[in-house]
Amino acid sequence: MLIVHKYGGTSVGSLDRIENVAMRVARARREGNDIVVVVSAMSGETNKLIEYANHFSKTPAKREMDMLLSSGERVTAALLSIALQEMGLDAIAMTGRQAGIKTDNHHTFARIESIDTKAMRRELDEGKVVIVAGFQGVNEAQQVTTLGRGGSDLSAVAIAGALGADACEIYSDVDGVYTTDPRIEPKARKMDFISYDEMLELASLGAKVLQSRSVELAKKLSVKIVAKSSFSEDKGTVISKEDEEMEEVLVSGIALDKNQARVTLRQVADRPGIAAEIFSALANEQINVDMIIQNASTDGTTNLGFTIPQSELERAKEVLSGFDKEFGSADFDENVCKVSVVGVGMKSHSGVAAKAFSVMADNNINIEMISTSEIKVSMIIDQKYGELAVRTLHDAYKLDR
């Protein structure tokens, strides 16, 4: 089997931990697998370098940031290669460029355009463990680029896709994806399998494990991800295409997202296109509008309500101030949260949403907004009821079994 391993910053956060990673890789190799390892910078390194840059400038040039930040992963890759060689394994460390990772031109947030696997294949064919510095590539002009937060996961998934690997094992300090946040519901259970789409909807649960960009790429390239802990022997959670077995599971998880703010614009002028204008302006500022509710009122105006990430609220206020002639008043409420019930089983079973609503009613929790998709029911509620809602829903769908 050809397996891609990816180790995050915490997993390579000290020399002892790198040694531990080397032992895992050596074991997998000695079991007869071909192994490519993608590594992050040692934890703390990237933030240290960002602080250094900010000492000189609040807005350092992105091209220079990429040269700066790409150095941390190279260090880890070289050290891991040295550790493996000392254990008697053939190993070779490669930079993003040497591994053939070509990106577009967007410094600090580049997209992988293609991977020329020739060099990696040659080393694998010679029986070597290939270690690739994650998070980085080169653009057409051979300038170093980086892929943004979570970029090493992207490197790993893209490499697994390009090489047609049997699996991409993403190691962190969490041993998989849980039915909900165990800090909220101690009965939360680690899942064995989850589909790409569920994982995307459960982003807030999986954020510590891997980011949405990587899941989307894995789905696109049909790469089987295994989310595992580098500190335990747990077999982790497989994230892959949904199969029949998965569809028998009605609900797989409950997610809570506290990074929510509700915006209500009252007495919006009832002229065609005004909503579109406002939402385009927000989109241009990269503000993600989630749920939208529009109520016609009796005086020829409407009320327009929507949710955005709390962290984008200040920028949203600025954008909206440009439209202040178009509405009467604006309300901003940060005391809300979003609870989501997710499961591919919903596609073929009805009654999931109804049950969620009745659980909320039984607990006297007012649902302020609702949005549903094929595999998800999301509800905006008062933030103080968030944890209660998660626990009662987790119980109601019997997720602890």
Binding site for a second copy (CB under 8 A): 15, 18-19, 22, 49, 52-53, 55-57, 60-61, 63-65, 67-68, 70-72, 74-75, 77-79, 81-83, 85-86, 92-93, 95, 97-98, 142-144
Residue 276 class from Cβ within 10 Å (0-12 exposed, 13-18 middle, 19+ buried)? Answer: exposed
Residue 136 CB, shortest distance to a second copy, in Å, is: 12
Residue 87 CB, shortest distance to a second copy, in Å, is: 9
Choose between 81 and 103: whose C-beta lies nearer to a second copy: 81
- Give 72's DSSP letter: H
Choose between 95 and 155: whose C-beta lies nearer to a second copy: 95
Choose between 42 and 278: whose C-beta lies nearer to a second copy: 42
Residue 8 Cα to chain centre, angstroms? 13
Residue 140 CB, shortest distance to a second copy, in Å, is: 14
Choose between 56 and 245: whose C-beta lies nearer to a second copy: 56
Q: At 52, is the secondary structure helix, strand, or coil?
A: helix
Residue 151 CB, shortest distance to a second copy, in Å, is: 17
Residue 311 CB, shortest distance to a second copy, in Å, is: 26
Residue 120 CB, shortest distance to a second copy, in Å, is: 14
Interstrand relation of 237-240 and 292-296 (parallel, antiparallel or unpaired)? unpaired
Choose between 75 and 353: whose C-beta lies nearer to a second copy: 75
What is the distance between the alpha carbons of residues 306 and 265, in angstroms, rounded to a whole number? 9
Choose between 100 and 206: whose C-beta lies nearer to a second copy: 100
Choose between 73 and 198: whose C-beta lies nearer to a second copy: 73
Residue 292 Cα to chain centre, angstroms? 23
DSSP β-bridge partners for residue 345: none
Residue 52 CB, shortest distance to a second copy, in Å, is: 6
What is the distance between the alpha carbons of residues 265 and 323, in angstroms, rounded to a whole number? 11
Residue 99 CB, shortest distance to a second copy, in Å, is: 12
- How long a stretch of residues is the chain? 401
Interstrand relation of 367-373 and 376-382 (parallel, antiparallel or unpaired)? antiparallel
Residue 67 CB, shortest distance to a second copy, in Å, is: 4
Choose between 97 and 262: whose C-beta lies nearer to a second copy: 97
- Taking each helix axis as running N to C, give the angle between helix 386-396 and helix 352-362, from 0 to 180 degrees, rounded to the nearest 10: 130
What is the distance between the alpha carbons of residues 95 and 5, in angstroms, rounded to a whole number? 16
What's the Cα-to-Cα distance from 246 to each of 191, 192, 254, 267, rounded to whole Å?
A: 11, 10, 16, 46
Q: How many CB atoms lie within 10 A of CB 119?
A: 15
Helix (H) / strand (E) containing 28:
helix 15-30
Asked if 76 and 64 count as a contact pair (C-beta separation under 8 A), the reply is: no
**H helix intervals, 13-165:** 15-30, 45-56, 62-69, 71-86, 118-125, 151-163
Choose between 50 and 330: whose C-beta lies nearer to a second copy: 50
